[in-house]
A = this chain, B = another copy of it.
Amino acid sequence: MERRTGIIAALDTTNALNIAREIREYVDAFKVNYPLVLSEGISVVKELSSYGPVIADFKIADVPHISAMIAEIAFENGAKAVITHGFTGSDSVKAVLDVASRYNGEVYVVTELSSAGGQEFMTGVAERIVEMARNLGCHGLIAPATRPERIRKLRELAGNMQILSPGVGAQGGKAAEAIRAGADFVIVGRSIYEGNAVENARLLAEQLKEVI
Protein backbone atom coordinates (compact mmCIF):
# COMPACT_ATOMS: atom_id res chain seq x y z
CA MET A 1 0.00 0.00 0.00
CA GLU A 2 1.36 3.37 -0.94
CA ARG A 3 2.19 5.56 1.97
CA ARG A 4 -0.03 8.57 2.28
CA THR A 5 1.17 11.92 3.50
CA GLY A 6 -0.09 15.46 3.47
CA ILE A 7 -0.71 18.80 5.08
CA ILE A 8 -3.05 19.90 7.83
CA ALA A 9 -3.49 23.67 7.81
CA ALA A 10 -3.64 25.17 11.30
CA LEU A 11 -5.94 28.16 10.97
CA ASP A 12 -4.98 30.15 14.05
CA THR A 13 -5.95 33.34 12.28
CA THR A 14 -8.99 35.58 12.09
CA ASN A 15 -9.07 35.21 8.32
CA ALA A 16 -9.56 31.44 8.56
CA LEU A 17 -12.54 30.98 6.26
CA ASN A 18 -11.04 32.88 3.34
CA ILE A 19 -7.74 31.09 3.68
CA ALA A 20 -9.42 27.69 3.90
CA ARG A 21 -11.31 28.35 0.67
CA GLU A 22 -8.15 29.47 -1.10
CA ILE A 23 -5.84 26.63 -0.06
CA ARG A 24 -8.23 23.69 0.13
CA GLU A 25 -6.86 21.95 -2.95
CA TYR A 26 -3.38 21.70 -1.39
CA VAL A 27 -4.28 20.51 2.11
CA ASP A 28 -5.97 17.44 3.60
CA ALA A 29 -7.68 19.00 6.59
CA PHE A 30 -8.05 22.17 8.60
CA LYS A 31 -7.15 22.41 12.26
CA VAL A 32 -8.90 24.96 14.47
CA ASN A 33 -7.95 25.89 17.99
CA TYR A 34 -9.64 27.79 20.80
CA PRO A 35 -8.43 31.29 19.91
CA LEU A 36 -10.40 31.14 16.65
CA VAL A 37 -13.41 29.33 18.09
CA LEU A 38 -13.69 31.58 21.15
CA SER A 39 -13.43 34.70 18.98
CA GLU A 40 -15.69 33.63 16.13
CA GLY A 41 -18.04 31.22 17.90
CA ILE A 42 -18.32 27.46 17.53
CA SER A 43 -20.21 27.90 14.24
CA VAL A 44 -16.85 28.48 12.54
CA VAL A 45 -16.25 24.73 12.75
CA LYS A 46 -19.30 24.00 10.63
CA GLU A 47 -18.48 26.81 8.20
CA LEU A 48 -14.94 25.52 7.73
CA SER A 49 -16.13 21.96 7.24
CA SER A 50 -17.71 22.99 3.94
CA TYR A 51 -14.13 23.35 2.63
CA GLY A 52 -12.71 20.12 4.03
CA PRO A 53 -12.44 17.95 7.15
CA VAL A 54 -11.99 19.93 10.35
CA ILE A 55 -9.88 18.81 13.30
CA ALA A 56 -10.98 20.51 16.51
CA ASP A 57 -7.70 21.05 18.31
CA PHE A 58 -9.28 21.56 21.71
CA LYS A 59 -6.45 19.74 23.49
CA ILE A 60 -9.11 18.30 25.74
CA ALA A 61 -7.63 17.89 29.21
CA ASP A 62 -10.40 17.56 31.73
CA VAL A 63 -12.18 14.97 33.87
CA PRO A 64 -14.17 12.43 31.84
CA HIS A 65 -17.66 13.95 31.96
CA ILE A 66 -16.41 17.41 30.96
CA SER A 67 -14.06 16.02 28.30
CA ALA A 68 -17.03 14.18 26.81
CA MET A 69 -19.10 17.38 26.75
CA ILE A 70 -16.35 19.26 24.93
CA ALA A 71 -15.97 16.47 22.35
CA GLU A 72 -19.73 16.37 21.86
CA ILE A 73 -19.82 20.08 21.03
CA ALA A 74 -16.99 19.66 18.51
CA PHE A 75 -18.58 16.73 16.70
CA GLU A 76 -22.12 18.08 16.70
CA ASN A 77 -20.76 21.21 15.04
CA GLY A 78 -19.24 19.23 12.21
CA ALA A 79 -15.71 18.39 13.32
CA LYS A 80 -14.31 15.21 11.79
CA ALA A 81 -11.77 14.74 14.57
CA VAL A 82 -10.74 16.09 17.94
CA ILE A 83 -7.36 16.39 19.57
CA THR A 84 -7.24 15.35 23.22
CA HIS A 85 -4.43 15.20 25.71
CA GLY A 86 -3.42 11.79 26.98
CA PHE A 87 -1.74 12.72 30.25
CA THR A 88 -5.19 13.22 31.78
CA GLY A 89 -5.45 9.44 31.89
CA SER A 90 -7.31 6.67 30.14
CA ASP A 91 -10.77 7.46 31.55
CA SER A 92 -10.84 10.90 29.97
CA VAL A 93 -9.49 9.63 26.64
CA LYS A 94 -12.04 6.83 26.64
CA ALA A 95 -14.85 9.31 27.35
CA VAL A 96 -13.80 11.29 24.28
CA LEU A 97 -13.54 8.12 22.17
CA ASP A 98 -17.04 7.06 23.20
CA VAL A 99 -18.45 10.36 21.93
CA ALA A 100 -16.39 10.17 18.73
CA SER A 101 -17.67 6.71 17.91
CA ARG A 102 -21.25 8.00 17.90
CA TYR A 103 -20.27 10.53 15.23
CA ASN A 104 -17.95 8.22 13.31
CA GLY A 105 -15.30 10.74 14.33
CA GLU A 106 -11.60 10.41 15.04
CA VAL A 107 -9.50 11.04 18.15
CA TYR A 108 -5.86 12.13 18.12
CA VAL A 109 -3.85 12.09 21.32
CA VAL A 110 -1.07 14.53 22.17
CA THR A 111 2.11 12.76 23.18
CA GLU A 112 4.32 15.76 23.91
CA LEU A 113 3.98 19.40 22.93
CA SER A 114 6.28 20.80 20.24
CA SER A 115 7.40 23.62 22.54
CA ALA A 116 10.56 23.33 24.66
CA GLY A 117 8.45 22.97 27.81
CA GLY A 118 6.91 19.83 26.34
CA GLN A 119 10.09 18.06 27.39
CA GLU A 120 9.76 18.94 31.08
CA PHE A 121 6.88 16.66 32.05
CA MET A 122 5.55 15.10 28.84
CA THR A 123 8.52 13.45 27.16
CA GLY A 124 8.98 11.23 30.20
CA VAL A 125 5.49 9.75 29.87
CA ALA A 126 4.96 10.06 26.10
CA GLU A 127 5.75 6.43 25.38
CA ARG A 128 3.25 5.24 27.98
CA ILE A 129 0.69 7.64 26.48
CA VAL A 130 1.23 6.09 23.03
CA GLU A 131 0.67 2.65 24.48
CA MET A 132 -2.52 3.80 26.19
CA ALA A 133 -3.83 5.46 23.01
CA ARG A 134 -3.14 2.34 20.98
CA ASN A 135 -4.81 0.06 23.52
CA LEU A 136 -7.90 2.28 23.63
CA GLY A 137 -8.19 2.32 19.84
CA CYS A 138 -7.41 5.95 19.16
CA HIS A 139 -6.90 6.98 15.55
CA GLY A 140 -3.65 8.79 15.89
CA LEU A 141 -1.09 10.79 17.77
CA ILE A 142 0.28 14.31 17.83
CA ALA A 143 4.09 14.31 17.94
CA PRO A 144 6.49 17.23 17.60
CA ALA A 145 8.18 18.16 14.31
CA THR A 146 10.59 20.17 16.44
CA ARG A 147 12.04 16.89 17.74
CA PRO A 148 12.10 14.40 14.84
CA GLU A 149 14.02 11.89 16.96
CA ARG A 150 10.95 11.73 19.20
CA ILE A 151 8.65 11.13 16.22
CA ARG A 152 10.93 8.25 15.23
CA LYS A 153 10.77 6.73 18.71
CA LEU A 154 7.01 7.15 19.09
CA ARG A 155 6.44 5.83 15.55
CA GLU A 156 7.95 2.51 16.65
CA LEU A 157 5.26 2.16 19.32
CA ALA A 158 2.34 3.62 17.38
CA GLY A 159 1.16 0.55 15.50
CA ASN A 160 -1.39 1.58 12.90
CA MET A 161 -2.08 4.96 14.43
CA GLN A 162 -1.38 7.97 12.26
CA ILE A 163 1.03 10.63 13.42
CA LEU A 164 0.21 14.31 12.91
CA SER A 165 3.15 16.55 13.50
CA PRO A 166 2.92 20.23 14.53
CA GLY A 167 5.72 22.70 15.06
CA VAL A 168 6.67 22.99 11.39
CA GLY A 169 7.90 26.38 10.23
CA ALA A 170 7.60 29.21 12.77
CA GLN A 171 8.40 26.86 15.65
CA GLY A 172 11.49 25.53 13.87
CA GLY A 173 10.45 22.06 12.71
CA LYS A 174 10.99 20.96 9.11
CA ALA A 175 8.18 19.23 7.22
CA ALA A 176 10.39 16.84 5.26
CA GLU A 177 12.29 15.78 8.36
CA ALA A 178 9.07 15.09 10.26
CA ILE A 179 7.75 12.93 7.41
CA ARG A 180 11.03 11.04 7.12
CA ALA A 181 10.96 10.42 10.86
CA GLY A 182 7.55 8.79 10.55
CA ALA A 183 4.88 11.49 10.60
CA ASP A 184 1.95 10.93 8.25
CA PHE A 185 0.79 14.53 8.17
CA VAL A 186 2.45 17.79 9.04
CA ILE A 187 0.47 20.53 10.75
CA VAL A 188 1.44 23.93 9.42
CA GLY A 189 0.06 27.27 10.51
CA ARG A 190 1.91 30.54 10.24
CA SER A 191 4.19 29.29 7.42
CA ILE A 192 1.07 28.95 5.31
CA TYR A 193 -1.19 31.82 6.30
CA GLU A 194 1.46 34.49 6.86
CA GLY A 195 2.22 35.86 3.41
CA ASN A 196 0.80 34.34 0.23
CA ALA A 197 -1.17 31.42 1.62
CA VAL A 198 -1.95 29.80 -1.73
CA GLU A 199 1.63 29.90 -2.89
CA ASN A 200 2.93 28.73 0.50
CA ALA A 201 0.54 25.78 0.55
CA ARG A 202 1.25 24.84 -3.06
CA LEU A 203 5.02 24.85 -2.54
CA LEU A 204 4.77 22.82 0.66
CA ALA A 205 2.55 20.23 -1.02
CA GLU A 206 5.05 19.92 -3.87
CA GLN A 207 7.93 19.61 -1.46
CA LEU A 208 6.21 16.79 0.43
CA LYS A 209 5.60 14.83 -2.76
CA GLU A 210 9.33 14.53 -3.17
CA VAL A 211 9.90 13.19 0.32
CA ILE A 212 8.31 9.78 0.04
Contacts and interface: CB of A to CB of B under 8 A. Distances in A.
Contact of A116 (B91, B93, B115, B171): B91
B117 A128 contact: no
A200 interface: no
Interface stretch (A100-108, A119-127, A149-157, A202-210): A119-127
Report the interface size class on chain A: 35 or more
B125 A121 contact: yes
A48 to B, nearest CB: 15
Contacts of A166: 63
A52 interface: no
Interface in A83-112: 85-93
B73 A38 contact: yes
Interface string A56-76: 001101111010011001000
Nearest to A42: B38
A64 B115 contact: yes
A168 interface: no
27 contacts: A33-B66, A34-B69, A34-B70, A34-B73, A35-B66, A35-B69, A35-B70, A38-B42, A39-B42, A59-B62, A61-B61, A63-B113, A63-B115, A63-B118, A63-B166, A63-B171, A87-B87, A87-B121, A88-B113, A88-B115, A88-B122, A89-B118, A90-B120, A92-B113, A92-B117, A120-B132, A124-B125
